[in-house]
Amino acid sequence: MTVGTEDVRCRWQRILYTITVWLLLSHNLELTGAKLILPVKRSFSQLEGSGLHEGAGGMTKEHFRKLKDHDFQRSQRHQRRLSAVADFPLDGNEYYVGLYYTELGLGTPPQRYFVQVDTGSDLLWVNCKPCVRCPRESNLNIPLNLYDPQGTSTGKNISCMSSDCRTLASISSSQCVDRSCYYAFGYGDGSTTMGYLVEDVLTFSTIVGNNTVKNATANIVFGCGFNQTGTSLTTSDRAVDGIMGFGRQVLSVVSQLADGDFTTNEFAHCLQGDTGHGGLFVVGDIQETGLVYTPMVANQFHYNVNLQRISVGDTMLDIDPDVFAVTSDGGGGTIFDSGTTLALLADKAFDAFVNQLLAVVSVPYITIADTTCFEHSSRDVSSVFPSVTLYFEGGAQMQLKPENYLYRQQVSVSSQWCLAWSSSSSSGLDLSILGDIVLKNKLVVYDIENEQIGWMDFNCQSSVKVSGGNGSGSQEVSPGLVNISSGFSPSVAASLLLPMVYLTVALLSISFRTFT
């Protein structure tokens, strides 16, 4: 039989297609028990006045005030009885909102994006072409990128009739435009963002046994934000490409990966202290012994727990446990939130805490406005200030050192120690938020599947034992395994590696597919 030109062309097309698929699959393994690595970096570690530089005398008053302003604005959003999808930490100066950002790939071929990692929000959200007023550069010295729906071969819009759109519509302003699912969010500082839901390939690095880095992909739904207003979303100051939410709801990255049997619905972080530059962030079944757990409060949108008592030294404070509880109308409560820098206590609890602390500390102090500072310049605070213990439902206790409630502040050529906890009544609310200063130097586990939060004192520079599931046993994930990439080649789609510096985010796979 005579073979025509078209038949030959078709055969060659099939051969080339087969070779292409083989090359792609040769870079995508069956990643049972793999650790998925996302690059994460601390965004304020080089801020003038932050006190994080070696030899610094402490944080400046101006910097501390900006951190408090951020936390108060964020606490107002926590009070709303909405999903964390509407709770993007985007108000105020980007530099002070959200402490960590990571690098990931989206689309085919994958393009690089830098997004903040936040436990208080759900949706993965990036700036998108054509974008109105999106920043084009960042003084964090990272390249910014706009997601291009026309520049990826695997992206598609989410239909208005999809379950994801219905979930979004239940907690935000949304509408159907050209059969696509559009949303709009507003924030306490007056900033707004508009966009629509899309689905595309998420590319990330993995660790497969013996710290071998491999590539993996997964289809994921995320927001394509094309219209921003307000200073915090439109300026280059501390700008990133978007937000990567690790919240409690179904649209969060960890929940989507768990629903697709890519990971367990559990993650943990270990944030280093003031002299550190990050820590560890792991998604998977944490296997460390010594963790204590308390239940999450059911039917809440954030990581609410039941704090019951507080002791200062050996003295139990006279506080009604109801002060820390979620009220009948859904207000109040106690929240774990890595996006809050400091800590907020309900008004009555804060007053009792401060009064007892002043009663037992012998060094002179001064209170200006709502900040109390102690005339103690030495870095040694454990010999002067008492430890504090938080008591939670189920008997779990969290032991806090003075560094978990104090910060070192610059004063002329000297320094002093000031309270880093504040009363939430200053923001017009009455809830408690345990932020980074409380959670630092601890391994904190968010077990969403079993609705519990656990913690233990931990060296954030050491490895964490994580199980890969499917009988793969536990492996150790080390911080700083790779660094944030200094270069990126979108043409090498199947070998995209997202290295990390300062803070490792490791996602532990149950079973990764070779196809998406």
3-state secondary structure 115-184: EEEECCCCCCEEEEEEEECCCCCCCCCCCCCCECCCCCCCCEECECCCHHHHHHHCCCEEEEECCEEEEE
Fold of 292-447: Cathepsin D, subunit A; domain 1 (2.40.70)
336-346, pLDDT tens digit by residue? Answer: 987 777 899 99
Give the angle 297-299-302 at the CA atoms, nearest 5°: 70
> pLDDT value at position 205?
66
Catalytic site includes residue 118? yes
Q: In what order do the strands lie in the sheet with 406-411?
A: 365-368, 371-374, 414-419, 406-411
Amino acid (one-letter) located at 139: N
Beta strands (DSSP E) in 159-312 are 173-177, 180-186, 192-207, 213-229, 242-245, 266-271, 279-283, 285-286, 292-295, 304-305, 307-312
Give alpha helix (H) positions in 361-487: 436-439
Q: Is the pLDDT of residue 237 over 80?
A: no
Written out in words, the top-level CATH class of the domain with range 30-53+82-285+461-508 is mainly beta
Amino acid (one-letter) located at 456: M
Q: Is the pLDDT of residue 420 over 50?
A: yes
> What are the angstrom distances between the C-alpha of 208 and each of 11, 106, 255?
37, 22, 22
> pLDDT value at position 507?
37
Bridging pattern class, strands 397-400 and 414-419: unpaired
Among residues 467, 462, 423, the alpha carbon closest in space to that of 443 is found at 462
Q: Residue 379, Cβ neighbours under 10 Å: how many?
A: 10
Taking the C-alpha atoms of residue 353 and residue 347, their distance in angstroms, rounded to an integer, is 10
CB 269 within 8 A of CB 286: no
Among residues 439, 405, 431, the alpha carbon closest in space to that of 420 is found at 405
Instruction: Sort 11 into a burial class: Cβ within 10 Å, 0-12 / 13-18 / 19+.
Output: exposed
The structure tokens listed for 377 are 């310049």
353-380, pLDDT tens digit by residue? Answer: 999 999 999 999 998 777 899 988 888 8
> pLDDT value at position 355?
96
Taking the C-alpha atoms of residue 343 and residue 423, their distance in angstroms, rounded to an integer, is 9
Q: Band of the pLDDT at 334, cuts 50, 70, 90?
A: very high
3-state SS assignment for residue 5 = helix
Q: What average pLDDT is seen over the chain? A: 74
Among 61-65, 163-167, 485-489, name the one with the lowest average pLDDT: 485-489
Taking the C-alpha atoms of residue 151 and residue 110, their distance in angstroms, rounded to an integer, is 10
Q: Band of the pLDDT at 1, cuts 50, 70, 90?
A: very low
More confident residue, 193 or 405: 405
Selecting among 118, 285, 436, 447, the annotated active-site residue is 118
Contacts of 309 (CB under 8 A, 6+ apart): 316, 317, 319, 321, 390, 391
Taking the C-alpha atoms of residue 432 and residue 390, their distance in angstroms, rounded to an integer, is 12
Among 11-15, 25-29, 153-157, name the one with the lowest average pLDDT: 25-29
Q: b/e string for 424-440 if b means 16 or more Cβ within 10 A? A: bbbbebbbbbbbbbbbb
Among 163-167, 250-254, 389-393, 502-506, name the one with the lowest average pLDDT: 502-506
pTM: 0.77
3-state SS assignment for residue 286 = strand
CB 337 within 8 A of CB 89: no
Amino acid (one-letter) located at 221: V
Catalytic site includes residue 337? yes
> pLDDT value at position 406?
93
Q: Residue 246, Cβ neighbours under 10 Å: how many?
A: 27
Give the chain's count of helices (H) and strands (E): 7, 32
Q: Report the Cα 121 to chain-centroid distance in Å.
A: 8
Selecting among 241, 337, 430, 447, the annotated active-site residue is 337
Give 327's DSSP letter: P
> pLDDT value at position 234?
86
Q: What are phi and psi of 257, to 5 degrees?
A: -65, -35
Radius of gyration of the chain (CA): 24
The structure tokens listed for 390 are 């938080």
> pLDDT value at position 84?
22
Taking the C-alpha atoms of residue 404 and residue 224, their distance in angstroms, rounded to an integer, is 38
Taking the C-alpha atoms of residue 203 and residue 451, their distance in angstroms, rounded to an integer, is 28
Taking the C-alpha atoms of residue 16 and residue 141, their distance in angstroms, rounded to an integer, is 40
Q: Report the Cα 63 to chain-centroid distance in Å.
A: 21
> pLDDT value at position 166?
84
> pLDDT value at position 209?
63
Bridging pattern class, strands 307-312 and 315-316: antiparallel
pLDDT more than 90, % of the chain: 33
Amino acid (one-letter) located at 375: E
> pLDDT value at position 398?
98
Domains of the chain, residue spans: 30-53+82-285+461-508, 292-447
Q: Residue 474, Cβ neighbours under 10 Å: how many?
A: 17
> pLDDT value at position 413?
59
More confident residue, 147 or 90: 147
Bridging pattern class, strands 292-295 and 421-423: unpaired
More confident residue, 339 or 489: 339
> pLDDT value at position 129?
94
